[in-house]
Amino acid sequence: MSATVDAPRVAVQVIPPADSRAKLRERAFEAALIFALLISLAMLIALFIDVFTKGLPGLSPEFVTDKASAFPANAGIATSLLGTLWLMVVCIVFIVPIGLASAVYLEEYGTDYADQRTWTGRMIGRFNTFVEVNIQNLAAVPSIVYGILGLAFLVRGPLDLGKIILAGGLTLGLLVLPVVIIAGREALRAVPSSIREGSMALGATKWQTIWRQVLPAAVPGVATGVILALSRAIGETAPLLLLGAATFNTQNPSGIFSAISALPLQINTWISAPGADFQALAASAIIVLLVVLVLMNSVAIYLRNRYEQKW
Amino acid sequence: MSYLKLNSLLAVVSAGALALGVAACGESTEPTGGSGEAVSGDITIEGSSTVFPFAQAAAEAFQGENGEVNITVGDAGSTAGFEALCAGETDIADASSQIDEETVKTCEEAGIEPIELTIANDGISIITNPELAVECITTEELAEVWEKGSSVANLAEVNPDLPDTELALYGPGDESGTWEYFTETINGEEGNIRDDYSPSADDNVIVQGVEGEAGGMGFLGFSYYEQNADALGIAAVDSGDGCVTPSSETIQSGEYAPLARPLFMYVAGTEALAKPQVAAFVDYVLANNTEIAETALVVPANEEQISGDEEAIGAGAK
């Protein structure tokens, strides 16, 4: 724009370009967002292609029913898959009652102390806030730290359980417990207070209200939270490695007192083994793990849709 | 209504858990077959990841003849194996380097006298990219390339007869027994190694790195070279008595000095050996050493080593 141009003409000429520039910027912004999305998608697709081209040929019913072996041709994942399922059983039995009870306390009882005037009331209120903050923080603690905790308190130390599935499942349970509590609280909060008040108005006690009205209404949210927590636990390798889980067992686990074995541990061993055959086995095992994960997530989606209620 | 839903959900979950239990119970062990009197009970093995393939192959073969026995094999590393051995947590510790006196003392304080068995051999191999054709390299030249503070970027700097290509160096990291042994034997002191090479705990990454660059050079266990022999070059090593190429023969005989090293199993004293299943397993490993080693793609122990082991077992069994 030269200085000789008079003011009104400048105003008329400048506004349309500025407008189209804004549109351009808008488009560029959208393109940048899509680009960001494509990067993560491309990574995922690259991973899938890599794993499926290497692992698909090795997948067979025998691969799932055979035990691990020094001969790649005979090797399978029976032991580690069963180990993983047992770990999940321990995990679910541990996290559902403990996680749900914690969530119910914090959401249904803990809030009662928020505006207490008595000294004990205030102290309990402060304690609850302290617990809440810590649960948020625990959800962000690296998984390997839980491995150290499990080794010191469950495998050795006070409980001295040894390297058994019970200890492994409890360690994984501790790891995902904060996730369950947080998800549980959100599910409880989503239940409208009119339900509680209606129940109380009809003469139900607090316990009856929670057990018969609030909890059933919160099932979809809680179940989704639990399954997402299990999906995280099923892929964890680091804490189990730290517990000193063996990488090869000659016998399939028969219960919670058997030695720890898990699919991610088996994948970890095969990836670092010499020879391309073992790499292919690792890829096949990754496919099985992915299938288990997808199944678990489908159950979560099904439960959410099946039991969801509109208020 | 909703209450019923909650209950039915719980029922589904517990039924699933039950089904899993039944499935696991259905996995009964195979009937004992094969020779001799079969043993039963638990055997725990922990230790070196280099020895792991051997221990796994041994456990699998032994299990085949003794269906009731339950063996767990870990690969947490030699040091972790010794720790477990002295803590009485494992029957057998695998190791890629010999136990040191301090560890023996710790074990003895806990009432455990480790029995040393040499069960296989490994040779740390100097691998190169096929384009970087190094026929033979002396231990002095290796030391010059790898020692701490070394700025050698090209083998021709060390010896004009060697290829004039810029190097890309790969090797295991400091958590590895191979790293320990290599730095100690080549550079005279454990941990004496330049810090600008690419370290990796995963030997397959080292193979890929060397394979991918024209000047790629690295060191790792012999079985990783053998598995990738068509994609890699190998350098013979001269320690003053002429060039020796690593092979099963030169490693087993110890001719591939100084980079040939024995691999060990340590039995947790006479107490562990008193368990029939552990004693039977050890006998099995010594009697079928060559077959097990071949399955595991490691170099078997030589006759001298086996007879030494048998002596140690004889002394330990008293």
Q: Could you report the per-residue pLDDT of A20-76, keeping only the tens digit for each?
A: 888 899 999 999 999 999 999 999 999 999 999 999 988 998 898 888 888 888 889
Alpha carbon of B156: minimum distance to chain A alpha carbons (Å): 32
Q: Name the least confident of B17-31, B117-131, B153-167, B183-197.
A: B17-31
Is A253–B204 a contact, with Cβ atoms under 8 angstroms apart? no
Checking if the pLDDT of B32 tops 70, the result is no
Mean pLDDT throughout A124-139?
89
Banded pLDDT at A114 (limits 50, 70, 90): low
pLDDT at A121: 83
Judge whether A244 is closer than 8 Å to chain B, CB to CB: yes
Alpha carbon of A190: minimum distance to chain B alpha carbons (Å): 16
pLDDT at B78: 85
pLDDT, one tens digit per residue, over B39-92 is 888 999 998 888 999 999 999 999 999 988 999 998 888 888 999 899 888 999
pLDDT at B28: 37
Banded pLDDT at A304 (limits 50, 70, 90): confident
> From the list A69, A250, A307, which residue is nearest B5 (CB)?
A307
Which one-letter amino acid corresponds to residue B62? F
Mean pLDDT throughout A125-130?
88
User: What are the two backbone dihedrals, phi and then psi, of residue B60, each rounded to the nearest 5 degrees?
Assistant: -65, -45
Mean pLDDT throughout A127-140?
90
Q: What whole-number distance in Å separates Cα of residue A153 and Cα of residue B135?
A: 54
**DSSP run (H or E) holding B236:** strand B233-238
pLDDT, one tens digit per residue, over A175-212 is 999 999 999 999 999 999 999 999 999 999 999 999 99
Pairing relationship of beta strands B168-171 and B69-73 according to DSSP bridges: unpaired
Other CB atoms within a 10 A radius of the CB of residue B277 amount to 21
pLDDT at A2: 47
A-chain residues within 8 Å CB-CB of B5? 216, 219, 307
Banded pLDDT at B18 (limits 50, 70, 90): very low
Better-predicted residue by pLDDT, B29 or A308: A308
Mean pLDDT throughout A111-130?
81
Mean pLDDT of chain B: 85
Residues 6+ apart with CB under 8 A from B279: B273, B317
pLDDT at B96: 87
Compute CA A71 distance to the chain's CA centroid, rounded to the nearest angstrom: 34
| Alpha helix segments (H runs only) across A235-275 | 238-243, 263-271
Checking if the pLDDT of A14 tops 70, the result is no
**Burial call B175-210: b when 16+ CB within 10 Å, e when fewer:** ebbbbbbbbebbbeeeebbbeebbbbeebbbbbbbb
**Interface confidence (ipTM) of the complex:** 0.71
B-chain residues within 8 Å CB-CB of A85? 20
B-chain residues within 8 Å CB-CB of A248? 52, 55-56, 59-60, 71-74
Is A274–B75 a contact, with Cβ atoms under 8 angstroms apart? no
Determine the residue among B42, B49, B56 to mutate to test chain A binding: the one whose Cβ has the most chain A Cβ atoms within 10 Å. Answer: B56
- For A283, the 3-state DSSP assignment is helix
Q: What whole-number distance in Å separates Cα of residue B299 and Cα of residue B283?
A: 19
Other CB atoms within a 10 A radius of the CB of residue A307 amount to 20
A-chain residues within 8 Å CB-CB of B176? none
Share of chain B above pLDDT 90, in %: 54
pLDDT at B27: 38
Is A216–B5 a contact, with Cβ atoms under 8 angstroms apart? yes
pLDDT at A288: 94
pLDDT at B86: 92
Judge whether A297 is closer than 8 Å to chain B, CB to CB: no
Tokens 């180990």 map to which residue?
A83
pLDDT at A39: 95
Checking if the pLDDT of B21 tops 50, the result is no
pLDDT at A15: 54
Checking if the pLDDT of B25 tops 50, the result is no
Domain boundaries, chain A: 7-58, 65-307
Banded pLDDT at A110 (limits 50, 70, 90): confident
pLDDT, one tens digit per residue, over A219-278 is 888 988 999 899 999 999 999 988 888 888 888 898 899 989 999 999 988 888 877 888
Side by side, the strands of the sheet bearing A248-249 are: A248-249, B69-73, B41-47, B92-95, B260-267, B115-123, B299-300
Label residue A205 exposed, middle or buried (CB < 10 Å: 0-12, 13-18, 19+). exposed
Pairing relationship of beta strands B233-238 and B260-267 according to DSSP bridges: unpaired
pLDDT at A13: 53
Is A248–B59 a contact, with Cβ atoms under 8 angstroms apart? yes
A-chain residues within 8 Å CB-CB of B21? 255
| Closest to A307 (Cα-Cα) out of B7, B221, B24 | B7
- For A182, the 3-state DSSP assignment is helix
| Closest to A307 (Cα-Cα) out of B107, B54, B9, B173 | B9
Judge whether A255 is closer than 8 Å to chain B, CB to CB: yes
User: What are the two backbone dihedrals, phi and then psi, of residue A258, each rounded to the nearest 5 degrees?
Assistant: -80, 165
Better-predicted residue by pLDDT, A122 or A240: A240
Peptide bond into B276 cis (omega under 30): no
pLDDT at A12: 52
pLDDT at A88: 94
pLDDT, one tens digit per residue, over A64-98 is 888 888 888 888 999 999 999 999 999 999 999 99
The domain made up of A65-307 has a fold known as MetI-like fold (1.10.3720)
Checking if the pLDDT of B288 tops 70, the result is yes
Banded pLDDT at B3 (limits 50, 70, 90): very low
The token pair that represents B295 in the structure block: 């399955």
Mean pLDDT throughout B228-253?
92
| Closest to B58 (Cα-Cα) out of A62, A69, A247 | A69
DSSP letter, residue B166: B
Mean pLDDT throughout B245-251?
93
Is B72–A259 a contact, with Cβ atoms under 8 angstroms apart? yes
Q: What domains appear along chain B, each with residue ranges and CATH number?
A: 41-121+262-317 (3.40.190.10), 125-258 (3.40.190.10)
Is B24–A217 a contact, with Cβ atoms under 8 angstroms apart? no
Mean pLDDT throughout B283-289?
94
Is A273–B297 a contact, with Cβ atoms under 8 angstroms apart? no
pLDDT at A286: 94
